[in-house]
Every structure is written in structure tokens, then in C-alpha cells.
Structure 1
Amino acid sequence: MQERSASAPFETILTALSAAGEETRLRLLALLAEAELTVSELVTILGQSQPRISRHLKLLVEAGLVERHREGAWAFFLMAQRGAAAALGRDILGRLACDDPRRAADRERLTEVRRARAEQAVRYFASHAANWDELRALHVAEERVEAAIRDMIGTTSLHNLLDLGTGTGRMLELLAPLATRAVGIDQSPQMLAVARVRLEKAGLRNVQLRQGDIYALPVERDFYDLVIIHQVLHYLDDPARAVREAVQALRPSGRLLIVDFAPHEEESLRANHAHRRLGFAAAEIAALMEDSGLDVIERRDLVPNWNEGGKLTVTLWLGRDRRIISDPLPLTLGEFA
């Protein structure tokens, strides 16, 4: 959950106000409240030089209004989520008219940047759908990952299971036998076609596959016992938004399992495999879960064995919704568009 405005030292407030009180920096703050962006993307949106944008970002970061994290040759920026300066920044943006012409124009260009990203990802997934499982074998042995997944979630029956970015449907094949109903969401029709073949071959009749946006899930809210995001977040431009959307689908006391790479330096994955992020630090995912209303109940790091040279470490995070069950659970998922 985001903090409410809180008292802070005079210098903290003065520095934050000075940083936000300039046209370009205010525009940057508004953009970074909506998406995690690189300097080059901000240059494209605002039409200003890279040095100028970098100087403004430096001031915003120093004021505590913006967070910066570096991955190899790339740096990502996002509006800060914690601290008095971040709360003040949210207050400022909350008073900024949504229909302001400059803000509207920036949003329009942000939409174009996001559209270009999405089109690149669609082309990539379409061209690699048939051999997706082979591409995923960049990390420690899949058998180890799947064994850890099964162990972490246990063998208790699930009413409703949701797999986000289902890809070829392997997670559904693995876990749908535990569920009354399982749903897989993916944006790529080609990937869903591969998944349907796989699941039909496995004889699973309790699975639905749906094309959908991970940021606007076509599923019921407060419904699923378990939601899985397996090797998906590193493709996304806004992982935090995807986690928040996933949590909206959880029933009270439901669990979210995230599986992804630990931080690494394989820059080729950006150029050759459309990875946007080079893994995630344990504290980053834990913070995303906690800010979305989950308690992190378990984390595991699967480090490559001595004979798995060149493989990447995989981390699994399991979070539980803090809400308490008060009503009987629905047993099946209603039809949805």
C-alpha cells in the first residue's frame, strides 16, 4: 500500500518542491507515475536531448521523488513509492488536471512508446512459440524449478487456479490436476494455440485458455486460490502494475507465486529474446508483494549446480493475501468475455 502524506523535515520538503517546480521535471514526474521508463524513452516522449533529460532525472532522484535502478547498460526510472517526498509528489500530481494539454500530449506519446514495445513482444512470441520451452531452458534445470513449485504450493486441492502469461501451458499441465478449474491467460494467439495442443494431449478438461492483457485481466476479481506468474515479469515494462493486477484476482488468503530470474548480466537476452529486465532482486519482488497487500511467506533461490555452467539462478517468491476468508468460496469460474 502507498503511504499517506506524512510530516518531514523542512529541507526534505523544500528540496522536493524545488525539484518538482520546473516544467520538464513535473512532466517527467507525471510520466514516471504511470510507467517505468528509460532515458531514451523519455527523450522520445519529451523531444529533449539526452543530457538535459538525464540532468532533470538526477535532481528528481536526489530529491527522493524518483527511483533509479541500473541493469547492465540500461537504467530504469519510476516515481518513488516510499518516503515523505514520494507522498508529496503524489499529492502534487493529484492536483494536476488530467486534461492539461501538455500532460495529454505526453500521455499520447507514452502510449506510442508502449505500443511499440508491445508490437515488438508480439512479433517475438509469434516467431518463437513452437520452441518456447527450449528458450526457457536458459536457467537451472526445469525439473528443479518444477519440483520447487510443487513443494512450495503443496498438494492441497485448489478451487480455482490462474496462470498469467501461460505460454505453452506447461504450468497448467503441471498444476491443473490440483484444481477444480484452471485458467490460462496469454496475449499471443500463437502461444495459446501451442498450449491448447499440449493440454488436449494431456487430457485436461478443467482448463480454459483466454487471450488477454496481463495489465487488464479478463477474469473475476477476489476469486482465485492461486495465481502464478512464471518467467513473465522480465518481459514487462511495468512489473509492479502486473503484480497489482494479479493480486486483484486473488481471493482472501489466496496465494501468488512469482518465478523469475535473479539479477544477472546476460545483455544478449535483451537484444535476442526481448527481455526488458535482467532479473529481479529478492527485495524488489518482496516489496511489490507487500505493497499490494500480500505477506511473503516463502522464498527460494535455485542456484545452478557445478555441471550447469552458463545457466541462470531462478528465484521463487510465494505471497499470501492478508485478507481473511469470511464467505464460502465459489467452486467454479463463471463464463466471461
Structure 2
Amino acid sequence: MSLSADQTVEALRAAGEPTRLRVLSLLAGEELSVMELSRILEQSQPRVSRHLKLMADAGLIERFPDGARVFYRLSSDPLARRLIDTVLDLLDESAGAADDRRLEDVRRDREAAASAYFERVAPQWDRIRSLYVCESDVEEAILQAAGDGPFERVVDLGTGSGRMLTLLGRKAKMSVGLDLSHNMLNIARANVAKAGLDKVELRHGDIFATRLPEHSADLVLVHQVLHYLADPAAAVAEAARLTAPGGRLIIVDFAPHQLEHLRDEHQHRRLGFSDEEIRRWLGEAGLRADAATTLPPDTDGLTVSIWTADRPAEAKAKAA
């Protein structure tokens, strides 16, 4: 598949302007808000917004609102990304040095805000974790479920603070973490940087519609996310869609429990999941589920279940 001549010309026109080239170069590194781009480019928000609209209309970038903010990222379309990469490869590496310095200022401000946010919510995290088995035991079981690797691409849906990425990142050639909370993504960015991982992409994303390519990851994780969702089955289906032939999906969540206060205090919509329920969703999504691993708490509290499922490797041969 390729772009038509008209599409190619339109895309090149949209990219062919100094400010817009600067924007593409910045977005190649990470998602940015209009306000952040305006600060880095030292241009007014209305002016930056006009450039962004033109590139979005040409399919070079994607726009998505988050509350009162609007964020932008490079297009997820493979053809558009190939064109962008080709154009950016032609640029002098020193051309964006000033933008890079101002981007670092934005990142430092983000990290400071993220640290303050994490400190504010830390008591809630500790309380949640105290309800179930020791976190180190859970992580050890996740490592065993994932296997030795190496992995071509790991995708962590609802990445939160990025713990799964830092846990498994060294086994992956490339990792992607999605989350709807920009505050949590900023925390994840700080944690990933602290871990020294440079092949990690953190992006704002909806677990029900990730916009990631089908069968694009050989390891997909959904860690302590499903119990917050109104439609967990749809989230499992989307996670399965991303799982490549021969790849693995790992779901970590609570077994059924009766702690009703978690609905009001911590916004849990579901009070755990049965093995039968999760296995049915996995089967409907075309995956082959293994026996679940259960980790009961040391004291009264919540049992953690870990479900693993594989997409049969023969699916790749049939698709070919």
C-alpha cells in the first residue's frame, strides 16, 4: 500500500514550512500540548494551533483533547510515519538545538509537577497495595509469566507509573505504555528515565481504542486496570487484537471479593473477576488461555490473579 500522488503532495506541503518541521521533530520524541509547543517554539498559541490544524488535516499528526487541554502526536499511520521519518532524516541534527533545550525545560517542569502529584497520592497507593499480596511476589509471578524474552515490542495498557515497563523494559527492544492520565504518564516518564530505558514510548491512549496496529506486540500487559473499567471485556478484546501470532497477553487483577468500600474510596467499578469470566473473554478474542496463577494475601485482603494467554503461532502462517 502506498500514498497517492495527491496525498503525497498534500503531506509534503503540510510539512514544508520551518515551524511545522520543528513541530514534527518535537513530536517525534513525545506527545506535547499546544501550550507546551507554544512555549518551546516561542510563538503564540493561535499561531501554533493554525500550523497544527494544517498538519492534522494532512494526516501527519493526530489531535486529541484531554479535559481543557489539547495534545498532539505523530500519526500512527505507517505510511505517514514513513514520510515523516524520511523528511526528518534529511534535517541537520543541530537545527533543533534551541528547541531541544526548551523541551528539556518543559520536561523538568513536568517532572517537578509529577513528583508533587505522586507525593500527594502516595498514601492512597500504599493503602491499595496493603490490601493484597506483597508487590514483589506479584512482580516475580509476572516475570515468570512473561518468560525470558527478548521481546520485539512490549505494550502496557493503562501503564500508570510505568512499573511494568521498568520491570520488563530490559527484555524488550521497544516498549509502549498507554494511559489516559497525563499526570501518571509524567510519573512514568520520570521512572523510565530513572531506570535508564531509552527505547520506551509513553503516549496518551484509550485502552478501548489504542490506535496501535493489529498484532503488533509479542507481549501485552493489562496490569490492575480492568476493575476500573465499565467494559472490561472490550479492553481484553483490544489487548488481544494487539497480540501478535506467537505472542502473549498477561492480565493481572483481583479475584472476586466483597470489599464494597473500594467502589467509593478508590473508584473500583468491578470487585474482581472470576477465572471463568476472563478465560471466556480471552477465548472469544482468539487467544489460548493457560491456567491462572493466584496469589492470596498474607492477611485478610485481596487475592491477585494472573492470567496468561497466547495467540497461536499458526495464525501467522494462515494470515500469510
Instruction: Give the alignment's TM-score, normalised by structure 1.
Output: 0.57
Tell me the equivalent position of 2:48: none
Cα distance, 1:250 vs structure 2: 1.2
Q: Do the aligned residues in 2 keep the contact of 1:252 with 1:324 (CA within 8 Å)?
A: yes
- Partner Cα distance (1:164, 1:128) in 2: 23
Task: Indicate whether 1:181 and 2:174 are aligned.
Answer: yes
Q: Work out the number of aligned pairs and report it.
A: 200
For residues 177-224 of structure 1, the C-alpha deviation after alignment (integer angstroms, 9 at most, x for no partner) is 110000000000011011111111111111110001111003221110
Change (3 A) 1:326 1:270: closer
Change (3 A) 1:155 1:129: farther
Cα distance, 1:298 vs structure 2: 3.2
Cα distance, 1:322 vs structure 2: 2.8
Tell me the equivalent position of 2:108: none
Larger RCO, structure (CA 8 Å, separation 6 or more): 1
Change (3 A) 1:143 1:194: same
- Residue type of the partner of 1:312? L
- Partner Cα distance (1:170, 1:193) in 2: 13
Match for 2:218 among 200, 225, 228?
A: 225
Task: Indicate whether 1:134 and 2:126 are aligned.
Answer: yes
Task: Indicate whether 1:304 and 2:297 are aligned.
Answer: yes
Task: Indicate whether 1:204 and 2:194 are aligned.
Answer: no
Identity level (%): 44
Tell me the equivalent position of 1:315: 305
Unaligned runs of 5+ in 2: 1-66, 68-116
Change (3 A) 1:201 1:127: closer
Q: How does 1:50-199 map to 2 (within 5 A)?
A: 130-131=121-122, 133-137=125-129, 138-199=131-192
Q: Do the aligned residues in 2 keep the contact of 1:222 with 1:249 (CA within 8 Å)?
A: yes
Which shifted more, 309-318 or 182-191? 309-318
- Residue type of the partner of 1:315? S
- Partner Cα distance (1:236, 1:222) in 2: 23
Q: Do the aligned residues in 2 keep the contact of 1:129 with 1:168 (CA within 8 Å)?
A: no
Unaligned runs of 5+ in 1: 1-114, 116-125, 328-337
Q: Do the aligned residues in 2 keep the contact of 1:133 with 1:168 (CA within 8 Å)?
A: no
Which shifted more, 131-140 or 232-241? 131-140
Change (3 A) 1:247 1:129: farther
Describe the SS at the equivalent of 1:208. Answer: strand
- Residue type of the partner of 1:134? D
- Partner Cα distance (2:297, 2:214) in 1: 37
Change (3 A) 1:129 1:233: farther
Cα distance, 1:151 vs structure 2: 1.0
Cα distance, 1:127 vs structure 2: 8.7
Instruction: Give the alignment's TM-score, normalised by structure 2.
Output: 0.59
Which portions of structure 1, spanning 4 or more consecutive aligned residues, are displaced by more than 4 angstroms?
126-130
Describe the SS at the equivalent of 1:204. Answer: coil
Change (3 A) 1:133 1:195: farther
Describe the SS at the equivalent of 1:185. Answer: strand
Describe the SS at the equivalent of 2:277. Answer: helix
Tell me the equivalent position of 1:287: 280
Q: Do the aligned residues in 2 keep the contact of 1:295 with 1:319 (CA within 8 Å)?
A: yes
- Partner Cα distance (2:282, 2:120) in 1: 30
Change (3 A) 1:301 1:231: same
- Partner Cα distance (1:288, 1:233) in 2: 12
Describe the SS at the equivalent of 1:158. Answer: coil
- Partner Cα distance (1:293, 1:249) in 2: 12
- Residue type of the partner of 1:313? T
- Partner Cα distance (1:134, 1:224) in 2: 31
Change (3 A) 1:133 1:198: farther
- Partner Cα distance (1:144, 1:162) in 2: 22
- Residue type of the partner of 1:191? M
**Which has more helix, going by share of residues?**
2
Describe the SS at the equivalent of 2:218. Answer: strand
For residues 75-129 of structure 1, the C-alpha deviation after alignment (integer angstroms, 9 at most, x for no partner) is xxxxxxxxxxxxxxxxxxxxxxxxxxxxxxxxxxxxxxxx9xxxxxxxxxx8998
